[in-house]
Amino acid sequence: MKFIDESKIEVFAGNGGNGAASFRREKYIEKGGPDGGDGGRGGSVFAQADRNINTLVDYRFARSHRAKHGESGRGSDCYGKGADDVILRMPVGTVITDINTGEVIADLARDGEKTLLAQGGKGGLGNLHFKSSTNRAPRQCTPGEEGQTRELQLELKVLADVGLLGMPNAGKSTFIRSVSAAKPKVADYPFTTLHPNLGVVRVSHEKSFVIADIPGLIEGAAEGAGLGHQFLRHLARTRVLLHLVDLAPMYEGTDPVAEANAILNELKKYDQSLYEKPRWLVLNKLDLLEDRDEKVAAFLEKFSDYDRHFAISAINGEGCKELTYAIMEHLLQIAAQEQEAAAESAQESDASSI
Among candidate residues 275, 335, 267, 279, the one with its CA nearest the CA of residue 308: 279
Residue 2 has pLDDT above 50, yes or no: no
Can you give the pLDDT at residue 222? 47
Residue 85 has pLDDT above 80, yes or no: yes
Q: Is the pTM of this model over 0.85?
A: no
CA distance 225 to 215: 12
Q: Which of 168-172, 241-245, 318-322 has the lowest mean pLDDT?
A: 168-172
Beta-bridge partner residues of 106: 96
Beta-bridge partner residues of 279: 241
Instruction: List domains and CATH numbers for the chain.
Output: 6-25+32-156 (2.70.210.12), 162-340 (3.40.50.300)
Q: Are 121 and 147 in contact (CB under 8 A)?
A: yes
Percentage of the chain lying above the pLDDT 90 cut: 22
CA distance 182 to 317: 15
pLDDT digits 0-9 by tens, 174-217 = 888 888 876 655 544 444 445 667 788 888 887 888 888 876 56
Residue 221 has pLDDT above 50, yes or no: no
Can you give the pLDDT at residue 290? 82
CA distance 92 to 315: 32
Reported as type and span, the H/E element at residue 241 is strand 240-246
pLDDT digits 0-9 by tens, 234-281 = 777 788 889 888 888 777 777 888 888 888 887 887 778 888 888 899
